[in-house]
Amino acid sequence: MSTPRIAISAPDGDVTYEQLDEAASRVAGALLAGRDDLGGARVAFLVPPSFAYAAVLRGTWRAGGVAVPLAVSHPPAELDYVIRDAEADVVVAAPGYLPALAPLCAAAGVRLITTDAALAAPALTAHPHLGAGRRALIIYTSGTTGRPKGVVTTHAGLGAQVSALVSAWGWTPADRILLVLPLHHVHGLVNGLITALAVGGTCEMLPAFDAGAVWRRLASGDITVFTAVPTIYLRLIAAWEAASPDVQRAWSAGAGRLRLMMSGSAALPVTTLERWRALTGHTLLERYGMTELGMALSNPLDGERRPGSVGAPLPGVEVRLVRESGDVIPDDAEPGELEVRGATVFLEYWRRPEETQVAFREGWFRTGDVAVRDRGAYRLLGRTSVDIIKTGGYKVSALEIEEVLRRHPAVAECAVVGVADAEWGERVSAVVEARPDAPLSLELLQAWAREELAPYKVPRALRIVEALPRNAMGKVVKPELAALLATAEPE
Ligand code: MCA
Ligand code: AMP
């Protein structure tokens, strides 16, 4: 008899596919609580990386629900926003999060159950029929308008995203991925967990990113695939450099045995790519994706991986570059906005029909990223909006942070920008016009913002000025701020 395959290896244990299947049926039973089908009701869940996370995700789908993963790094105000915006029918929480969630759920009138209770429920025996066109997942992402929007992907869309990755990156049941990314975003959730489970591979999860722990697992010889954001590769390089020569040799040799190492979510500096190649022999496979699209462009598994390039369209993905006028760019060398079409593209922004409509042009999704094509491969040059910041691989909206800062009683006006940073890609930075009569310090403002904003949205560099630079129309001129902040010491 062959050994049963391990689906998840996580802090709460190793489970086989059979055990995961049974656990998902129990979760589905608990969610349905006697109903036949959740019928697209939203199941929000706050569960750390674990076997329980995978069981809740699969159980939600089995019961006909829409999965809404919540971020373990988010403060109560952000959790509350997502639970209410998604109009969650039920929230599932790991027991440790009950104290934070119980008051929110009580105030919002939402049922709250623990993972322990869900996993102990009687298993569901009959499943609702899940048409591929049904909504499967809502991931929250920031934009240039208002608060974060829920990006809705159907089962068919997710299936198309996963198929593209399996064929382009050669996933097989023999793969074991080491996952250290958060599970409320596509990079960790789709590229890591969902794809590994779709092929019958193993997903090994660490509780959080820790450079030493990652190196030890990479060196073990067990892992075949790894994917991360550039900030993580920089931290791994720093840990390698701080290690003894013997440890360095063991880590490098072990990492060299992986089948595939990838980078994405933010631009991979060529210096990082080169340093990683020198340490491990791997030329990182860089790819480009977006919450609304899954992955769209990728360097090849076999063949030349060009530093500074995000490669060519994945199977089933069509892309084009468009001028500001809307004309499609026919040739290489002329930059334009990247637009994407295909079965992988999201269905809608949750309950935001107008924003969904303006996100598309003639059926093509407008990414807001500016790119240029060179011999079949694409290079990203920047974004069409200065108000989108990418920091540590997280996308944040400058406008959203400004709205929060303006609520502080000592802030008269403010402007937030992303300042180039070697470690984080961009650093959230703010220039604040203080009220003349109110004392304001970075510490006070940061402590205050921490309560309202996720950690990566808290301004790290701050200037307090008497007057923000404005144009003749009275509008704050952001490019001037970037220069001002670039010379400010990071706090
Ligand atoms: C955290 N800190 C930051 C940032 N993030 N400071 C500045 N900029 C930031 N972005 C602060 C923390 O609050 C803390 O501050 C201090 O830095 C040290 O934090 P530490 O615990 O050491 O690390 P961490 O910040 O928790 O983790 C760093 C990380 C993490 C592992 C690189 O940012 C991460 O997991 N990033 C991945 C994001 C991701 O998966 N993005 C995918 C979305 P203090 O000590 O003062 O409290 S994009 C996507 O899905 C698309 C589809 C795609 O293409 O992939
Ligand atoms: P998100 O909205 O969090 O899914 O982030 C998507 C955005 O991340 C894209 O629109 C790009 O701006 C950025 N991004 C993803 N992959 C890359 C990459 N390889 N290089 C540069 N930017 C990237």
| pLDDT tens-digit map of 156-183 | 999 999 999 999 999 999 999 999 999 9
pTM: 0.95
- pLDDT of 424-438, one tens digit each? 999 999 999 988 888
Residue 117 has pLDDT above 60, yes or no: yes
List the residue whose alpha carbon is closest to atom 12 of ligand 1. 455
What band does 450 get if pLDDT is binned at 50, 70 and 90? confident
Name the amino acid, one letter, at 350: W
Nearest-ligand number for the alpha carbon of 460: 1
* Rounded distance from Cα 457 to ligand 1 centre (Å): 10
List the residue whose alpha carbon is closest to atom 33 of ligand 1. 392
* Rounded distance from Cα 55 to ligand 1 centre (Å): 26
List the residue whose alpha carbon is closest to atom 22 of ligand 2. 266
Where does residue 316 rank: exposed (0-12), middle (13-18), buried (19+ CB within 10 A)?
A: middle
CB 409 within 8 A of CB 419: no
CB of 182 within 6 A of ligand 1: the answer is: yes
- pLDDT of 9-21, one tens digit each? 999 899 999 999 9
What's the chain's length in residues?
491
Predicted local confidence at residue 486, as pLDDT = 67
Predicted local confidence at residue 278, as pLDDT = 98
Predicted local confidence at residue 1, as pLDDT = 59
Give 34-66 as a 3 state SS string.
CCCCCCCCEEEEECCCCHHHHHHHHHHHHCCCE
Predicted local confidence at residue 489, as pLDDT = 53
Residues with CB under 6 A from ligand 2: 141, 186, 264-267, 286, 288-291, 310, 367, 369, 380, 383, 390, 395
- pLDDT of 273-313, one tens digit each? 999 999 999 999 999 999 999 999 999 999 999 999 999 99
Lowest mean pLDDT among 32-36, 105-109, 244-248, 346-350: 32-36
Ligand 1 mutation pick, 226, 288, 290, 394, max ligand atoms within 8 A of CB:
394
Give the chain as a 3 state SS string.
CCCCCEEEEECCEEEEHHHHHHHHHHHHHHHHCCCCCCCCCEEEEECCCCHHHHHHHHHHHHCCCEEEECCCCCCHHHHHHHHHHCCEEEEEECHHHHHHHHHHHHHHCCEEEEHHHHHHCCCCCCCCCCCCCCEEEEEEECCCCCCCEEEEEEHHHHHHHHHHHHHHHCCCCCCEEEECCCCCCHHHHHHHHHHHHHCCCEEEECCCCCHHHHHHHHHCCCCCEEEECHHHHHHHHHHHHHCCHHHHHHHHHHHHCCCEEEECCCCCCHHHHHHHHHHHCCCCEEEEEECCCEEEEECCCCCCCCCCCCEEECCCEEEEEECCCCCECCCCCCCEEEEEEECCCCCEECCCHHHHHHCEECCEEEEEEEEEEECCEEEEEEECCCCEEEECCEEEEHHHHHHHHHCCCCEEEEEEEEEEECCCEEEEEEEEEECCCCCCCHHHHHHHHHHHCCHHHCCCEEEEECCCCECCCCCECHHHHHHHHHCCCCC
CB atoms within 10 A of CB 172: 11
| Cα–Cα distances in angstroms (integers) from residue 92 to residues 52, 74, 136, 368, in the given order | 10, 16, 16, 34
CB of 188 within 6 A of ligand 1: the answer is: yes
Domains of the chain, earliest start first? 6-130 (3.40.50.980), 388-486 (3.30.300.30)
CB of 232 within 6 A of ligand 1: the answer is: yes
* Rounded distance from Cα 267 to ligand 2 centre (Å): 8
* Rounded distance from Cα 132 to ligand 2 centre (Å): 27
Q: How far apart are CA 124 and CA 32, in angstroms?
A: 9
Ligand 2 mutation pick, 145, 288, 295, 346, max ligand atoms within 8 A of CB:
288
CB atoms within 10 A of CB 131: 10
Nearest-ligand number for the alpha carbon of 183: 1
Atom of ligand 1 nearest to the CA of 235: 32
Any idea what the Cα angle at residue 286 is, between residues 228 and 220, rounded to 5°? 45
Atom of ligand 2 nearest to the CA of 388: 12
Predicted local confidence at residue 140, as pLDDT = 98
List the residue whose alpha carbon is closest to atom 20 of ligand 1. 209
Averaged pLDDT of the chain: 95
Predicted local confidence at residue 488, as pLDDT = 57
Ligand 2 mutation pick, 161, 229, 290, max ligand atoms within 8 A of CB:
290
- pLDDT of 212-247, one tens digit each? 999 999 999 999 999 999 999 999 999 999 999 999
- pLDDT of 393-417, one tens digit each? 999 999 999 999 999 999 999 999 9
Bridge partners (DSSP) listed for residue 43:
67, 90
* Rounded distance from Cα 383 to ligand 2 centre (Å): 10
CB of 392 within 6 A of ligand 1: the answer is: yes
Atom of ligand 1 nearest to the CA of 427: 8
For the chain, the distance separating the N- and C-terminal CA atoms, rounded to the nearest angstrom, is 60
What's the mean pLDDT in 46-63?
A: 98
Residue 491 has pLDDT above 50, yes or no: no
